Structure 1
Amino acid sequence: MAKLMKATVLEPKHPNKATALFNGEASGILHWDNVAYPHFYDLRKTIRGLFWTANEVNMVADTKQFASLSNEERTAFLKIIGLLATLDGPQTDIASKIAAYSTDPSVKSILATIADQESEHNHSYTYVLASVTNYDNQIASFNEGRTDEVLLERNKRIAAVYNEFAENPTIETVLKAMVYSALLEGLFFYSGFAFFYNLARNQKMVGTSTMISYINRDELHHGRFISELFRATLAENPEYNNEQFIEWVYDEFRHSVEQETKWSRYVLAGIDGIDLDDMEGYVKYRANKMLRMLGLSEIYEGYEKNPMKWIRAYTDNFNGTKSDFFEQKSRQYTKTSDLNGFDDL
């Protein structure tokens, strides 16, 4: 198993264009017109164009509305924020760890941007909770990933794969980490996203939903880059493009769909407006989509189209660039200069 070596920071005797994504040679000087994968530049430009910050979102209306949510909605809100924080926190670290072993400076550059955006996602969950509930509930929500049995079971394999790469960096473990990163970006968030979009279509917690839509758009583009990086790494290391490894990928997708479905039936039970069978179909649809992005075949026959048609207004119409905050008139909010807009209360 090919052990990964940490890339040197600057080595003038090596060429500027990296000889390989991992375990190659590169000077460390990044010249975007002379990189091994020129289309990475377009991906970088798109990802860089997504910049936003949590405290630009006015949460005044959400602050007033949270107490009027049903008990089921408030419980799901806090549990799902806990889930999202559990997933986004490690994404900052895993992007940095993959970057540390990549010998391609273009990859390092893009992953640095992704790590920064994931950090802002995690900050946004603190921001949302600080806007709508007390400190004790915030602590409890962020502890969900450490204490909730369903969530612990759901995240067991994520932790195993990420920690294996951290402790034993090889071509195989970095490929596996990319698979799980793609799963996080393109599948694991989506029952949570659906919950907030369902609130928004009922004119509830619109500020939170709008922030979630920006996170969602970021994740779609992060997932696209990770998928491209996976395919390129597999092409450079064809010995891993074998039946055993590809079957591992399919098994992890099947397991992830099972866990996401179990989680959605647990956390979304009793939420008006979300059909749990449709939610399961949507998860399978997302899995097929992510497999295609990774260059693999679909495994869920009959789930080629999105069965949750109402969610398209929130997830299927993202373009490649960041729109102005004021463009989304159906979920419009205003920027505030003070934290959370509390001075407007």
Structure 2
Amino acid sequence: MEWNYYDAINWNNIEDIMDKMTYEKLTEQFWLSTRMPVSKDKSDWTKLPDPEKRLVEKVFGGLTMLDTLQSENGIDALRKDAKTQHEIAVLNNIQFMESEHARSYSSIFSTLNTKKEIEDIFRWAREDDFLQTKARIIDEIYQNGTPLEKKVASVFLESFLFYSGFYTPLYYLGRAKLINVAEVIKLIIRDESAHGAYIGYKFKIGFEQLTDSEKEAIKSWTYSLLYKLYENEVKYTESLYDQVGWTEDVKVFLRYNANKALMNLGLSPLFPDTADDVNPIVINGLSTGTTNHDFFSTVGNGYLLSVVEDMKETDYDY
């Protein structure tokens, strides 16, 4: 008679050391949006022109929807293809933090916006064609793609598609506006950097097991997907940023991060844009150093449950 048993996870027997390293990195970086002093930005918010307020609302509404997609559909899709119990544990951590990221935007909305404005933000996110298109493209891969295709979609979401929204708070941070809001976003960016690098690492393991012809096929599929997403992202960016005149700068930022996503997958960059081409105000904001710290509540970009070093690009060069 065959006996089926449940197997306890054993962290003393690690099959892939990157599972352990990433889990420890993510738990060290743990944070909660409710402890960030966003209310201190109310004065800055009231001084923003209405077109810029609407821009902030929309980019955060879009980010909320994409984080929700990743937490509800994306991680479940990746978990089905996990090779080890430890990989599942890492994905569980990522799933929780994607939910916390989505909640963090609601915390910002509840501080800066009226109930009516919040309702309008979520209605816009449901109705915007470009936002819905990129979510649909990614989710269709989550539902029907191969294990490697799902990893590509996840990395493109985490390392590329979020960044049209991240540009705005980083830009304001460089101009010493909405500093506490930007600190929340910097914590999210630090998480997403780890998520994209880890899932990209898992892609590279699977990729190396393919035949040469299979490698060429997945590479071709990946670049075609990126073209498709980029074309839509350009239209999304134009619809958001044309009114404030930042569109071309944001497009450069998009191309730079598209290259970073490809690098997470171990593939060659597609666009000529480098960090030197990105608005220096914004590229400086990608640093995860603490810009504001509340010593009474131990809140700020340095707020963590344990001491955490700043994330460096080389931390996740697997």
With structure 2 as the length reference, what TM-score do the two structures score? Answer: 0.84
Q: Which residue of 2 aligns with 1:286?
A: 257
CA contact (8 A) 1:82 1:143 kept: no
Q: Which residue of 2 aligns with 1:188?
A: 161
Residues 251 and 144 (structure 1), Cα distance of their counterparts in 2 relative to 1, 3 Å cut: same
**C-alpha separation in 2, matches of 1:89 and 1:335:** 32
How far off is 1:102 after superposition?
2.4
| Aligned length, in residue pairs | 294
Where does the alignment leave 5 or more consecutive residues of structure 2 unmatched? 299-318
Q: Which residue of 2 aligns with 1:34?
A: 13
Q: Which residue of 2 aligns with 1:142?
A: 122
Q: Which residue of 2 aligns with 1:307?
A: 277
CA contact (8 A) 1:28 1:105 kept: no
Q: CA RMSD in A?
A: 2.4
Instruction: Give 2:47's aligned amino acid.
Output: S
CA contact (8 A) 2:160 2:258 kept: yes
Instruction: Give 1:141's aligned amino acid.
Output: I
Q: Greater share of helix residues, 1 or 2?
A: 2
- Runs of 4+ that moved beyond 6 A: none
Percent identical across equivalent pairs? 21
- In the alignment, is residue 158 of structure 1 matched against residue 125 of structure 2? no
Q: Which residue of 2 aligns with 1:22?
A: none
**C-alpha separation in 2, matches of 1:334 and 1:144:** 38
**C-alpha separation in 2, matches of 1:240 and 1:48:** 39
CA deviation map 1:188-211 (0-9, x unaligned):
111211101112222222111110
SS for the counterpart of 2:14 is coil
2:148 alignment partner, one of 159, 168, 175: 175
Residues 271 and 334 (structure 1), Cα distance of their counterparts in 2 relative to 1, 3 Å cut: farther
2:190 alignment partner, one of 195, 217, 220: 217
SS for the counterpart of 2:277 is coil
Residues 97 and 248 (structure 1), Cα distance of their counterparts in 2 relative to 1, 3 Å cut: closer
How far off is 1:117 after superposition?
0.6
Q: Which residue of 1 aligns with 2:306?
A: none
How far off is 1:126 after superposition?
0.8
CA contact (8 A) 1:58 1:336 kept: no
Where does the alignment leave 5 or more consecutive residues of structure 1 unmatched? 1-9, 13-26, 166-171, 319-326, 338-345
- In the alignment, is residue 263 of structure 1 matched against residue 233 of structure 2? no
Alignment of 1:66-105 (within 5 A): 66-93=45-72, 94-105=74-85
With structure 1 as the length reference, what TM-score do the two structures score? Answer: 0.78
Instruction: Give 2:281's aligned amino acid.
Output: W
CA contact (8 A) 2:174 2:282 kept: no
Residues 188 and 136 (structure 1), Cα distance of their counterparts in 2 relative to 1, 3 Å cut: same
CA contact (8 A) 1:285 1:306 kept: no
SS for the counterpart of 2:8 is coil
CA contact (8 A) 2:70 2:98 kept: yes
